[in-house]
Structure 1
C-alpha cells in the first residue's frame, strides 16, 4: 500500500492512503484487517479523506511493515465483512440529516412566500393523516395532538409556527430512526455468531476446518452443547435444539433428518450432521434484529412505565387545552397548551436511553439482550458465581496425569484429548491443549461420543466402554473400580487440584489433575461490587467441601456451596428469589444453564459453552471480571438517567403549559421550546453515561 505519514506520537499514527477515493466497503475491509493485527489497539478509517488513525502497542516498525504489505486482494480473501455495514448506515443518515437542514435553510431564504406555504402544507400531510387515523380509531394519542397543533397554526395563518413544528418533528423522527437502527445493528453484531472452526465430514473422516472454508452443500457435524454455525438441513442423527433466541419457544425442538436448523441455535442433546444451505450464517443478523424490534421481553419496566404514562397524559393535555380556551376564549393560549405534551419526550427518550446503554455495554464487551436485564442488574442485591471458568481462569491447565493399572501416561492423555476435543468446556480445553503441548496426535479411533450434562463423556474404544468425568459419574453412577493394589495410591491424589477420572472397561485408567488458578482480579471485583450495593455474594462449585472452603476464603465470598449439581444450582437461585432477593447468576458451562435461566438476569462468560451463552440474558468478555463492575455501573447510571429524564420532562413541560395558559408564551415559542426540549432530552439519552472510577475497591 502506498501511503504517507501525516502525524505521529507515542503509540499513535495517522496515515493517508495515496488514492483519490475509498468506498465504504474498502474502509470496512481495511479497518477489519488492521484490527486483526497483534499490535492494533484501536483503528479508525475515514473513507472521505482516505486516512487511517491507528493506536498501537509494541514496535513501530511492525505497524509500518503491515501497512506496506497490505493489499486489497488479500483483504478480500481474508476479511469476512458483516452483511450490514454500520458505516453505510451512518453515512445514509448523515446525508439525510444534512440534506434536510440544507433544504430547509434554502427554502426559507430563497423561496417566495406562496411556495414556502405550499411546501409547509405538503410536509403537514403525513402528520395530519396520522392524526385523522387516531381520530377514526377513537384514540387520543400524541399523533392527534401533533396534527391538531400544526393544523390550527396553519388555519390561523401562522405558517411559520406550523413549518417550524413540522421540521422539528421530522428531525426528531429521523434521529429516533437512526438511533434505533444503529443500536440494533450494534446489538445484533455483538450477538452474532462467534464461531472460528467447525467439524466437517469428509471422505477422510471428521476434519476441523475454519468456518470460512465451509461452502453450501458441505456436511457439518454438530454435537451437544455446540452452537449450530449455519442454516441447514439435517442429514443424519437426531437432536433437541434450543431455538429460544429466534422463536421464543421455551421447549427445545426435536430435529430429525430433513428438519431445518438455523444458525445461532444450540444443540442441547444428541448430535446431527447437517447439510449447509447458507455458508455465511448472515441470516442470523436479520433474525436478531427482528427479535429486538418485536420482542416485548426486551422492554424494561421503566420503558413500559414511560410508554404507559405517556399515553395516559395525552388526554389530559387535550382537556387542558380545551379548558384553557373555555376560560380565556383565547385561541393562542389554548394552542400553547396543545403544542406542549409530555408523551413525546417520555416515549422517545426512555427507549433511546436503554438502547444507548445497551450499545455502550456492547462497546465494553458486554452483550445485553434487553433493557429489563439492565434494570435487574441495577436492582440486584445478590450475585451467585459458578467457580470453574468464572471465578477461576477459563483456561485451566493439566498439572499431571496419574496412570493406573498398566496404562501409560501419554496414552491416557492422548485418549482423554481425543474424547474431550468434541465438547467445548474449560477443563476439556485444558486436556486438549496439554496434548498439543506434548506433541501428542489424537486421531479419531473411538466410536460415537455421548456427553452427559454435569457428568462426563462416554464412548467405545476397541470394544471397551470408555468414560471420562467426575468421581460421582465414574464411581457412583457407572460403578467403576480402582485396580487392585492401587487404593492407597488413589487415596494420595493431590487435593490442591481438580480431578478428571478416565476409566476403561469399568476400571480406573488414569486421573488427570487440573490446576484451576483463581482470576487475579476476582477478589477485588467482589469487593468493588459490595461497594456498589451488592449485599451478598455466593460461590457454587462441584468441588469437595475442603477445596471449596479454601477457595472461598481466598476470594472473600459471603458464602459457598460445594458438591452441587446443576439442579441444585437452579434450586438455590430459585430459593433466593422466593426470599425476595434480586439475583444475578454468573456462569460459563452447560451445567450452569438451569441456574442462568432461573435468575433475574443470567450472565455467561463469552468463551464458555454455547448453550450457556444462548440461555443467558447477558454475556461478558472472558478477559476480565471487571466487566461485571462496568455492567453494574452502566445499569445504575441508566436508571439515574431515566429518573432524571422523568423529572426534566414533567417539570419543563409543566412550566411551558403554565406559561402558555398565562399568555406569557405565544404558541410558536411554546412549540419550539417543547420540541427543542424533546430533541435535547433525546440527544442526552443517546449520549455516553457518566464514567465512574474504579477506586471503589475496599481496603
Structure 2
C-alpha cells in the first residue's frame, strides 16, 4: 500500500485543528481545564511540527517569510502557556493553507494528455502482413499503416497513393492539406482521409512531435517560479514584527508582551485574504468558461503587459467556412450549394462538413445521395435528385469538365490566397464553384481594443503562416508587430525576446505548436474549446468556450481580484501593526491579540469575497440586455446569410439572365429584403434605443442607426427601380444602375453585420 504524500498528509491539518479547538472549548466550558489545555496544545504542536518541516524545505530553496511568523506565534504560545492563542493561530494558518491548496488542486500541470495523444504502438508491414509493434522499435525505412483519424506517429514520406492531413495543431493551417506519394509528412498531423502507407524517415524520438514535447519539458524546467503576491509583503512584515517584538521584550523584560506582539502580527491578512480573493476570482472565471489552474496563474495574469497571439484558431475561427459562391448564369447559387452539400453528406472530409454546415445555416433542405464514390482528399461523384453530380477540388474536376468561357472564368476566380475551392458539376457540365476559408473571429477587433484598455502595452501576432497572409490579418485587427513562418521553437524564442523587452508576457494559442511557448511565457492561455490537448495541458489558463473575448474577461477578473487582495493586505497589515503596537505597550494580551486578529480576519475576508461578483456600479439603473437576446440577434445574422448571398448573386446574374426571369428573381429578392432583412434591422434599432437609455447618451450608436437608414433607403430605391421596369425591358445603363445598387447594398450589409456582431459580443454579461 503506497505511503500518503506529504501534501495529502497536510490536508488533514485543518479538520484536526478545528476538532481540537471545538473539543478544547467544550472542555473549558464544562470545567475540564486540563483536557482543554491538552487538546489545544496537541493541535498547535502538530501544526507547528509540520510548519517547521515546511520552513526547513523552504530554506533549502531560499524561500521563507510568512510561515516563520506563524511558527514563532505557535511556538511562543506553547512555550508561555498561551494555549488558546496558539490554537487560534493554528486554525487561521491551516485555513489559509487549505484555501491555497484548493486553488492549486483545481488542475495540475502534467503532460499526460500531450503524451497520450501520441500512439505508443503502430501497424508495421512485416513479410507481407501487418503487425502491431511498439513505436520505439520502428526504424527509418520501415513501412507503416496510418489509419483514418489516427495521429501520424513518426516523420516519413507518403508511400503510394495520397494522404489528406490535418496539420492545424502543428503549423496552424486550418484547412486540410494533400500530400502526394513521395511527399514528406510530419508526426503529430492527423489523418483526415483514408488510410495510407508511410515510409518512416526518422525514429520516434527524433521526430517532429517528440521535438515539440522536448521543447515543452525544457520550458517547464527553465521557467522561473512565480513570485506570489503574499510573499512580496512577507519579508518586510516579518522584519517589522521581529523588530517590534524584540524591542518590547528588551524595554520591558516581559516575554509575554513579545508573544502578544507576534500573535497580533500573525499575518492572516496575507494568509487568508489573498487566497480568498484569488480563489474567488478563479471561481468567477469558471462561471465565464475560463479554467484558471492555480492562484499563481491568476496573479501573473493580472500583471501581464505584453500579449503574443497565435493566428489560426485564436484570432481566426480555425475552421473552413463558406465565403462566396459563383454559379453559372442559368443556375441559382443556393441550389448549387444545396446539391453539393447533399452529396458531401457522405464524406468525412473537413471541407465537405463545412459545405454541409453552410447549407444548413441557410435553411436548405438536403437530399439523400446515392451511388456515391469518393476519391479521398480529392472529390466525390454520385447522384442527387436524379442528377449526376461531381464535387471536388480543381485538379479532380478539371479532367471531368469540358473547356468553356465559364470554366476559364472559374479557374481565374478561385485563385485566391488563403482559400480552398470546391468545384461543382451537374450532369457533366460545370455548374459553379465555392470558396472556403478561415475567417477572423467577429470579436477579434473588440478584444484587442479591450486588451489595450485593460493595460496591455504591446500586442504581437505570431504564426506559422506565410508572411503575406499574416500581414493581411495583422493589418485588419491592428497589432503592434507580426512574426510569421514560425516553428514551435521560434515561438519560444519570441516569448523570450518579448520578455527581455517587457515583463511579464502573456501567450495565447491553441495548437500543439503553441505548447512550448505557452509554457515559456509568464502566463499561457489556451483556446481549449477546439484546440489541441497539448496546449491545454501546457497552459496556465484554458478558455473552455469558443470565444476569444473570454481572454479580456479573464484579464479583468484577475486584475480586480488582485486589486481587492491588495486592499485587504493594506488594511489588514495596517490594523495588525496597530495591534502590535498596542501589544508592545501592554494593552493586549496574547489571547486578546489572537481575538483582535480574528476581527481583522473577518473584515479582510468579507472584503476579499467581493471578488466573487462583478463590480458594483452606481447610477446605472437602466434596461439590461440579456445574453439570450444578444445571442438571438447573432443567430438571426446567420439565418440571414442566404439573403445577403442572394444580393451579391443577383448583382452578378441580372445582366445575363433572360429579362422575364431576371424580373421575377428581382421581385423575389425585393420581397425577401422587406420581409426578412428590414424587420431584423428594426429589432436591432430597439436594442440601440435601450443602450442609449442605459448609458444616458443619445448619440451613442448614431453611426449604426445611420447605416440602418442607408440600408432602408437602398432597398426603397431597389423597389422603385424594379417597378419602373414592369412596363418594359430596362436598358443596359439601367441594369448597370441596379448592379451598382445591389453591390453597394451587399457591401454595406456585410460590414454592418460584422460591426453588430462585435457590439453584441462586447455587451454580453455574466
Under TM normalisation by the shorter chain, which class is it? Answer: 0.5 to 0.7
Aligned 8 A contact 2:564 2:607 in 1: no
Deviation at 1:500, TM superposition (A): 2.7
Deviations 1:448-472 (A, max 9, x none): xxxxxxxxx999xxxxxxxx99x9x
Please report how far the alpha carbon of residue 108 of structure 1 lies from its aligned counterpart in structure 2 after TM superposition.
3.2
Query: Retained in 2: the 8 A contact 1:540–1:562?
Result: yes
From the superposition, tell whether residues 413 and 580 of structure 1 become closer, same or farther in structure 2 (CA, over 3 Å): farther
What residue in structure 1 maps to residue 270 of structure 2? Answer: 346
Contact preservation (8 Å) 1:340, 1:670: yes
Superposition deviation, residue 179 in structure 1: 2.2
Structure (1/2) with the larger strand percentage: 1
Alignment partner, residue 170 of structure 1? 91
Q: In the alignment, is the contact (CA less than 8 A) between 1:539 and 1:552 conserved in 2?
A: no
The residue that corresponds to 1:116 in the other structure is: 36
Number of the residue aligned with 2:290:
366
Change (3 A) 1:430 1:98: farther
Q: Secondary structure at the match of 2:209?
A: strand
Which structure's relative contact order is higher, taking Cα pairs within 8 Å and 6+ residues apart?
2
1:530 corresponds, among 452, 458, 473, to 452
Distance 1:494 1:670 in 2: 78
The aligned residue for residue 528 of structure 2 is: 606
CA offsets, 1:581-616, max 9 Å, x none? 754343334555566566543433223331443444
CA contact (8 A) 2:506 2:523 kept: yes
Residues 662-671 or 305-314, more deviating: 305-314
Q: Which residue matches 1:106?
A: 26
Higher-Rg structure is 2
User: Could you tell me whether the CA contact under 8 Å between 1:299 and 1:370 is conserved in 2?
Assistant: no
Counterpart secondary structure, 1:623: coil
Counterpart position of 1:655:
578
1:125 maps to what in 2? Answer: 45
Q: 1:438 to 1:589 in 2, by over 3 A?
A: farther
Alignment of 1:543-692 (within 5 A): 545=468, 549=472, 552-553=475-476, 557-559=477-479, 564-567=484-487, 570=491, 576-580=498-502, 582-590=504-512, 592=514, 596=518, 599-610=521-532, 611-678=534-601, 681=604, 685=608, 688-689=611-612, 691-692=614-615
Correspondence for 2:151 among 220, 223, 233:
223
Per the alignment, in what secondary structure is the counterpart of residue 611 of structure 2?
A: coil
| CA shift for structure 1 position 627 | 0.7
Cα separation, 2, equivalents of 1:606 and 1:548: 25
Does 1:183 find its partner at 2:103? yes
Aligned 8 A contact 1:239 1:256 in 2: no
Mapping for residues 34-49 of structure 1, pairs under 5 Å? none
For residues 142 and 442 of structure 1, do their structure 2 counterparts lie closer, same or farther at Cα, with a shift above 3 Å needed?
A: farther
Question: Cα 1:107–1:143, aligned 2, differ >3 Å: closer, same or farther?
Answer: farther
Give distance in 1, aligned partners of 2:15 and 2:49: 27
**Is 2:179 the partner of 1:268?**
no
Gaps (5+ residues) in structure 2? 1-11, 124-146, 153-166, 170-184, 190-200, 213-219, 328-335, 361-365, 380-391, 396-401, 424-431, 618-623, 625-693, 702-766
Match of 1:333 in 2: 257
Q: CA deviation at 1:396?
A: 4.0
Contact 1:310 1:342 in 2 (8 A): no
- The Cα shift of 1:128 comes to 5.6
1:430-488 CA-partner distances (Å, limit 9, x unpaired): 368579977679999889xxxxxxxxx999xxxxxxxx99x9xx9xxxxxxxx999776
- Residues in 2 aligned to 1:444 and 1:379: alpha-carbon distance in whole angstroms: 56
Q: Distance in 1 between matches of 2:462 and 2:51?
A: 57
Q: 1:538 and 1:106 mapped to 2: Cα distance?
A: 62
Structure 1 residues 429 and 352, CA gap change in structure 2 (3 angstroms): farther
Question: How do 1:228-627 and structure 2 match up within 5 A?
Answer: 268=209, 300-301=226-227, 303=228, 306-307=230-231, 309-310=233-234, 313-314=237-238, 317-318=241-242, 320-341=244-265, 343=267, 345-347=269-271, 349-351=273-275, 353-371=277-295, 373-398=297-322, 420=349, 430=354, 489-493=410-414, 495=416, 498-500=418-420, 513-537=435-459, 542=465, 545=468, 549=472, 552-553=475-476, 557-559=477-479, 564-567=484-487, 570=491, 576-580=498-502, 582-590=504-512, 592=514, 596=518, 599-610=521-532, 611-627=534-550
Contact 2:268 2:601 in 1 (8 A): yes
> What TM-score comes out, normalization by structure 1 length?
0.53
CA change 1:181–1:386 in 2 (3 A) is closer
CA distance in 2 between counterparts of 1:562 and 1:146 reads 50
* SS of corresponding position for 2:508: strand
What is the root-mean-square deviation of aligned Cα atoms in Å?
Answer: 6.4
Q: C-alpha offsets along residues 486-540 of structure 1, whole Å, 9 cap, x if unaligned?
A: 7764332275x8413799xxxxxx9862154543433333333332223444556
| Length-normalised TM-score, structure 2 | 0.49
1:630: how far off? Answer: 0.9
CA contact (8 A) 1:366 1:627 kept: yes
Q: Give the match's secondary structure for 2:570.
A: helix
Q: Is the 8 A contact 2:25 2:36 kept in 1?
A: no
1:391–1:519 CA contact under 8 A, matched in 2: yes
Alignment partners' CA distance in 1, 2:321 and 2:221: 42
Residues 256 and 600 of structure 1, relative CA distance in 2, 3 Å threshold? same
Distance 1:434 1:319 in 2: 72
Would you say how many aligned residue pairs link Structure 1 and Structure 2?
Answer: 500
Once residues 37 and 260 of structure 2 are traced to their aligned partners in structure 1, the CA distance between those partners, rounded to angstroms, is 21
Of 685-694 and 671-680, the range deviating more from structure 2: 685-694
Q: In structure 2, how many angstroms separate the alpha carbons of the residues matched to 1:443 and 1:598?
A: 49
> How do 1:200-219 and structure 2 match up within 5 A?
none
CA distance in 1, matches of 2:317, 2:487: 24
For 2:505 and 2:375, the matched residues in 1 are separated by: 43
Query: Does the Cα contact within 8 Å between 2:260 and 2:593 map onto a contact in 1?
Result: yes
Query: Could you say which residue in structure 2 is the equivalent of 1:28?
Result: none
SS in 1 for 2:264: coil
Cα separation, 1, equivalents of 2:255 and 2:481? 71
